[in-house]
Chain A
Amino acid sequence: MSDSPGVIHVEHLRKGFGQHEVLRDVGLDVPAGSIFGLLGINGAGKTTLIRLLLGLIRPDDGRCLVDRIDPCEDALAIRRRTGYMAENQTMYAWMRVGELIEWVSRFYPDWDMGFADQLREQMRLDADAKVGALSKGQTSRLALLLALAHHPGLVILDDPTLGLDPIARRDFLRDVIGYLQAAGVTVFFSSHLLYEIEPICDRVAILHDGRIIKCSPVDELRETVKRLVLEPAEGANVADVPGLLDVESRNGRWAVTVEDVQAARESLATMARGEPAVVDLNLDEIFETYVIGRHEVDDA
C-alpha cells in the first residue's frame, strides 16, 4: 500500500438511515489510474458509499476525500471533475439526445463538445432521437457519454451494466477499457456481477456488513485465496487454521478455504492425512466464502 492517499480516500466512514446502519466503519484507497471494483451483495451499501463520495448525502462520522477534496466542503467541485453513472438512471425522456447533451454540458466548465459529438457517433446515438425512445443499451451508452465528455480524471460507475443484455454488457466494458483505461482515468466500479468485473479490475474491495472485509489486487486475491481438500487426521481442529474463510465437510473430507494458502500450508499439512489437493477459485467463489463462509465443521 503506497503512502500517498489515493484518488479516493475513505476513512472510518459511518452512515445510517434511522435505525438501520448501512456503513459502519468503511475505509479504502483507490490508486490513481486504476480500475477499482467495489463488490457487495444487494443492499450492502455500495450506492450509499458512492453517494457519500459525491456529496449527495452527508456521513454520520468519518470522512472521505475525492481528488483531495472533502465532499462535505465542496461537493460541486468534486462533481465537476468526476464522471458519474448512477444505478438505473432515468434521464429526461422528453428531451432529444442532442438537447440533453447540450443541457448537461452547461454544468461542466471542462466540457468538450467536439469529443461529445465524436463519442455520440461512435456509440451510434442519433442526436434527434428522444431519450425516452432509446433502448436500455443506448440509454446506458448515453449516460456513459455524459460521464466522459468533460474529460474527468475519475469516473464512478454504480452498477452500470444492470439490466443490459450480454452483448450490451460486453460493449459497455469495452468502452470502459477503451475510453477510460486507455486515457489513464481512474475508474471506481460497483457491481455484483463478479465474473464480469474481475477481468476488468486491478483491485477489488468487498463491502459486507458495513465494512470493507477485503481489499486487494485481483491477481493477489486469486493467488492467495485457495481451497484445499483434505482428509482430516485424528483430533484435527479446523479453528487452528490461520485465515480460515470457509469449511465444508462431506463424506469425512474437508474443503477448507483459506485467505493465504502459503501461511496456512503448514498447519494444514499437520492436520491432513496425506497431501491436501489445492483448488483454484474464481472471484464468485472467493466472494462467497468471504460473505457467507462457515467457520465450523457441521457434519453433512
Chain B
Amino acid sequence: MFIRIEPSSAAPVYRQIIDQIKYQIASGVLRPGDRLPSVRELARRLPVNQNTVLKSYDLLAREGLVSRRQGDGTFVEDAPPALKKSQRIKQVSAILAQAAAQAVHFEISDAELHELLDRQIKAVSRGGRSDE
C-alpha cells in the first residue's frame, strides 16, 4: 500500500492518510479482506506519529471502511459505508463545490468540467486515476 504525506500541505496528516486509503479502496487497489499495515509499521514508514495513524484508522473504522481486529490487525471491510446516504451526498457535494469553484477560477467551461468528471468516474471504476 503506497501512501505519501505532503509535509507542507495545509491538509492535516491524518486527513491525507484517510483520503489516500479511501481512494485506494474506492478504486479497487485495496480490496475487502486486505490487511492494512500495522499502526507501528505505517508510522515508521511514512514517517508519522503513531497516534496520527491510529486516529486515521479509528476514523476509517468509524465510517465502516475498515475493521480493527484485536491481535490480527486492520482489515478492509466489505460492508457498505456506515454513513447515511444523505451524509455521503453532503460530503461529495462539498468536494464538488471546491472543484466547481476552482474550475470557475481557472476559467474552465461547464462542458469541460462535466467531461472531466465523466473521465474520472470511468478511471476510478477501471481501477486507476486519469491525470489528464
Residues of A within 8 A of B52 (CB): 199
Q: Which 3 residue pairs across A and B have the least CB separation, nearest first?
A: A280-B10, A195-B7, A178-B44
* B47 pairs with A202, CB closer than 8 A: no
Interface residues of B (CB under 8 A from A): 5, 7-14, 40, 43-52, 55
Contact partner of B49 (CB less than 8 A), chosen from A170, A200, A223, is A200
The answer to whether A247 has its CB under 8 Å from any CB of chain B is no
Closest to B40 in A: A182
**CB of B80, distance to nearest CB on chain A (Å):** 29
Closest to A34 in B: B51
Residues of A within 8 A of B11 (CB): 280
* A284 pairs with B8, CB closer than 8 A: yes
Residues of B within 8 A of A282 (CB): 8-10
* A279 pairs with B10, CB closer than 8 A: yes
**CB of A158, distance to nearest CB on chain B (Å):** 19
* B46 pairs with A199, CB closer than 8 A: yes
The answer to whether A281 has its CB under 8 Å from any CB of chain B is yes
Residues of A within 8 A of B10 (CB): 279-282, 285
Distance A182 CA – B42 CA, assembled complex (angstroms): 12
Q: How many pairs of A and B residues are in contact by the CB < 8 Å rule?
A: 57
The answer to whether A147 has its CB under 8 Å from any CB of chain B is no
Instruction: Known A174-B45, A181-B43, A222-B12; judge A199-B7 contact (CB<8 A).
Output: yes
Interface flags, A263-297, vs B, CB<8A=1, else 0 = 00000000000000001111011000000000000
**CB of A180, distance to nearest CB on chain B (Å):** 10
Distance A170 CA – B14 CA, assembled complex (angstroms): 18
Q: Provide the main secondary structure of the chain A interface.
A: helix
Residues of A within 8 A of B48 (CB): 177, 199-200
Most chain B beta carbons < 10 A, residue from A174, A176, A199, A281:
A199
Closest to A201 in B: B49
* B8 pairs with A170, CB closer than 8 A: no
Distance A182 CA – B47 CA, assembled complex (angstroms): 12
Residues of B within 8 A of A281 (CB): 10
Residues of B within 8 A of A195 (CB): 7-8
The answer to whether A70 has its CB under 8 Å from any CB of chain B is no
* A174 pairs with B9, CB closer than 8 A: no
The answer to whether A53 has its CB under 8 Å from any CB of chain B is no
Closest to A222 in B: B12
* A177 pairs with B50, CB closer than 8 A: yes
Instruction: Known A174-B44, A178-B44; judge A199-B49 contact (CB<8 A).
Output: yes
Distance A196 CA – B49 CA, assembled complex (angstroms): 11
The answer to whether A219 has its CB under 8 Å from any CB of chain B is yes
The answer to whether A173 has its CB under 8 Å from any CB of chain B is yes
User: Assuming A219-B12, A280-B11, what are 12 further A-B pairs, CB within 8 angstroms?
Assistant: A170-B47, A173-B47, A181-B50, A182-B44, A195-B8, A199-B7, A199-B13, A199-B47, A201-B49, A202-B49, A223-B12, A285-B10
* A174 pairs with B14, CB closer than 8 A: no
Distance A222 CA – B45 CA, assembled complex (angstroms): 23
Closest to A283 in B: B8
Residues of A within 8 A of B13 (CB): 198-199
Interface flags, A188-204, vs B, CB<8A=1, else 0 = 00000001101111100
Residues of A within 8 A of B44 (CB): 174, 177-178, 182
The answer to whether A35 has its CB under 8 Å from any CB of chain B is yes
**CB of B13, distance to nearest CB on chain A (Å):** 5
